[in-house]
A and B are shown apart, each in its own frame.
Chain A
Amino acid sequence: MTNAPAPSISRIAGAFARARSQGRKALVLYLTGCDPDFDTSRRLLLAAARAGADILELGVPWSDPSADGPAIQAAMRRALATGGGMRAALDLCRAVRVANPDVAVVLFGYANPIFVRGTAKFAGQAKQAGADGVLCVDWPADEDPELAQALGQQGLDLVPLIAPTSTPDRVKAAVAVAGGFLYCVSLTGITGSQLPNLDETSARVRQVRELSDGRLPVAVGFGIATPADACAVAGFADGVVVGSAAVRVIERAVNEGRDPVPTLEEFVAALRAALGPRIEKP
């Protein structure tokens, strides 16, 4: 039993509300956990939050990332080589939470590391680690409600990926068990691809809003690489997700033997500046 009052609003909902109140869109930043190693990754995640990321997607390294492009595949390889995985990702989440009680964290990964733990045990561990939500690429929530239920029991959000090809019925089914926000994929393809024609993406976001009765904010990701891309997508989405481009910033610094933290921080600040009028100074 805990005496602390339950927060009236989740960190994820709070992040979108705060962005809205500041007249801007939310920045969701994906980094692969433990890339290139546990401690650097911890510093990178905290730096990203400091530079203005509202929500951190902490990528859980997996051996077979079939939805990811070359940049995140390489990040996962670097992470796995230094002991990354689900266990380390949970530890990393806890370390970030200890240092930053406010930033929203979504664990982003694949089904097998969750499945082998058991959904209830995993949800408990994620909660204890201070996560706010989970996104699982290859767990169709409408076909198997087990994960959504286990997360729900811990008060964690299940964030769905909504593909451009998802039918209205499937979008509705995904929304029915979703929490936090809806992650609209900009393109048919893998992470880190070229950003497509945004007219279609914009129309898709409108459609997803209608299908979900505006119940949750809609973020758009896949292919958003530059502040200009982020600015364009912010024209119609509630949040903008940047992943592969941030991972490439880290990769370049690591390959050149530099500490990746300052350059990532600079990159995130530029993305954040592109999203709206005011930047909060602490």
Chain B
Amino acid sequence: MPALEELTAAWEHFSREPTFRAELDRLLREYVGRPTPLTEAARLADHVAQGCRLRVFLKREDLCHTGSHKLNNCVGQILLAQRLGKKRIIAETGAGQHGVATATVCALFGLPCEIYMGAVDVERQSLNVFRMHLLGAKVHSVKDGTATLKDAMNEAMRDWVTNVGTTHYVLGTVAGPHPYPTMVGELQSVIGQEARAQIQAATGRLPDACLACVGGGSNAMGLFRGFLDDPEVRLFGVEAAGEGVDTNHHAATLGKGRPGVLHGARSYVLCDDDGQIAEAHSISAGLDYPGVGPEHSYLRDSGRAQYMAATDQEALDACRLLARCEGIIPALESAHAVAGLPRVAEQLPDGASVIINISGRGDKDMGTIAKHFGAEVSS
């Protein structure tokens, strides 16, 4: 708790301090590659709209350095850790994108970096494990529990409470104890701020809807934060339905979960009647989390945002659709957002415009995708 209080106070101070902001903005521009483009996806829109007028815009977080939005958060948190005098960085990772992003910024700043990753994820995301090694990070394979993202978070928390004096824990999503949901949301809000300006430049007005995938929910919160105060902009999150929300193999926490406490936050969780956290399932390791950020729970309950779920198969199909319509191969996480587009479009008036957050690129998923489409690739 004192570490969280220290972090809360530090974030409140530095996030408003001009020299900190200036350094963060410079890194976002010169290192991360911001602003990322907003790309109109006309062929995808035609395919989905089927005769209606629909404009679809893709927020291209896949074009960030390291291939996903995760770097936005890491750059900010590691700058903050430096201000706090922390000499060592740890993080959890699911798909490996956040681990790679953390290892990347640690390399840039010359900080030792240790990444906790579930043993199951180490297996299915071996390419990202190698990337982390190449960047000089140590990767711990976590075998406890379900050996996935939630267990990696447990192990990172154990490390943090043990080494709290010297170490900063770069939590990768808008979940966990305060101030993480706030801090990560604010660091990712650059996505929504850019998208807001870009769509107004492109269409002369705000979009009718924003669409993003939700695991812990950081890319969605980053986009949504640009539009929370505009009630005319509808917000849609897409969770992972895995093999279907009526099976036991999904990660639809907001759709099928209940209020609970996990990793220091009160939010929706997947658990049984006894309170034991359930195993989440998704083809995409980054959505495979039985909790969700507390701000999403609030947006769900207040009705400000609506949440749906896309199955593994729908995500695979959407991945191929975006590849063939637009020449963009999204991460399987982001493909869930694309899969939600037809259901969102149905609810919008003729001539509507939609922003989809393409939170990451699909290179890391080639092995998984190839397997499902019956091809063999060597990674």
* CA–CA, A25 and B334, complex, Å: 59
Cβ of B368 within 8 Å of any chain A Cβ, yes or no, is: no
A113 touches B275 (CB 8 A): yes
Known contacts A112-B261, A116-B271, A170-B1; is-contact A189 B161 (Cβ 8 Å): yes
Please name all residues of chain B whose beta carbon is closer than 8 Å to the beta carbon of A111 when the two chains form the complex. Answer: 261
A138 touches B276 (CB 8 A): no
B275 touches A116 (CB 8 A): yes
B1 touches A85 (CB 8 A): no
B276 touches A67 (CB 8 A): no
Cβ of A153 within 8 Å of any chain B Cβ, yes or no, is: no
Q: Whole-angstrom distance from the CB of B303 to the nearest CB of chain A? A: 24
Please name all residues of chain A whose beta carbon is closer than 8 Å to the beta carbon of B110 when the two chains form the complex. Answer: none
Please name all residues of chain A whose beta carbon is closer than 8 Å to the beta carbon of B165 when the two chains form the complex. Answer: 188
Interface size class of A (residues with CB under 8 A): 20 to 34
Q: Which of A124-132, A159-167, A252-260, A268-276 contacts B (4 or more CB under 8 A)?
A: A159-167
Count A/B pairs, Cβ under 8 Å: 87
Query: Residue-by-residue, is A131-157 near B (CB-CB < 8 Å gives 1, otherwise 0)?
Result: 000000011100000000000000000
CB-CB nearest in chain A for B279: A63
Please name all residues of chain B whose beta carbon is closer than 8 Å to the beta carbon of A110 when the two chains form the complex. Answer: 261
* CA–CA, A69 and B145, complex, Å: 13
B158 touches A67 (CB 8 A): yes
* CA–CA, A117 and B150, complex, Å: 22
A63, A113, A170 pick with most chain B CB within 10 angstroms: A63
Known contacts A73-B144, A167-B2, A189-B161; is-contact A66 B154 (Cβ 8 Å): yes
Q: Whole-angstrom distance from the CB of A87 to the nearest CB of chain B? A: 5
Query: Residue-by-residue, is B252-287 near A (CB-CB < 8 Å gives 1, otherwise 0)?
Result: 000000111111101001010111110000000000
CB-CB nearest in chain A for B177: A138
Known contacts A67-B158, A193-B162; is-contact A115 B260 (Cβ 8 Å): yes
Cβ of B49 within 8 Å of any chain A Cβ, yes or no, is: no
Please name all residues of chain A whose beta carbon is closer than 8 Å to the beta carbon of B277 when the two chains form the complex. Answer: 62-64, 112
A188 touches B276 (CB 8 A): no
Q: Whole-angstrom distance from the CB of B113 to the nearest CB of chain A? A: 21
A112 touches B158 (CB 8 A): no
A85 touches B259 (CB 8 A): no
A112 touches B275 (CB 8 A): yes
Cβ of B3 within 8 Å of any chain A Cβ, yes or no, is: yes
Q: A64-B151, A117-B275, A170-B2 are in contact. List 18 more A-B contacts (CB 8 A).
A: A64-B154, A69-B158, A73-B144, A85-B274, A86-B274, A112-B260, A112-B261, A112-B262, A113-B275, A116-B260, A116-B273, A138-B261, A165-B1, A166-B1, A167-B5, A170-B1, A188-B161, A189-B161
17 A-B residue pairs with Cβ-Cβ distance under 8 Å, sorted by A, are: A63-B277, A64-B150, A65-B154, A66-B154, A67-B157, A69-B158, A77-B145, A80-B276, A86-B275, A112-B260, A112-B261, A115-B266, A116-B271, A117-B275, A165-B164, A166-B1, A188-B163
Residues of A within 8 A of B (CB): 62-67, 69, 73, 77, 80, 85-87, 110-117, 138-140, 163, 165-167, 170, 188-190, 193
Residues of B within 8 A of A (CB): 1-3, 5, 144-145, 150-151, 153-154, 157-158, 161-165, 258-264, 266, 269, 271, 273-277
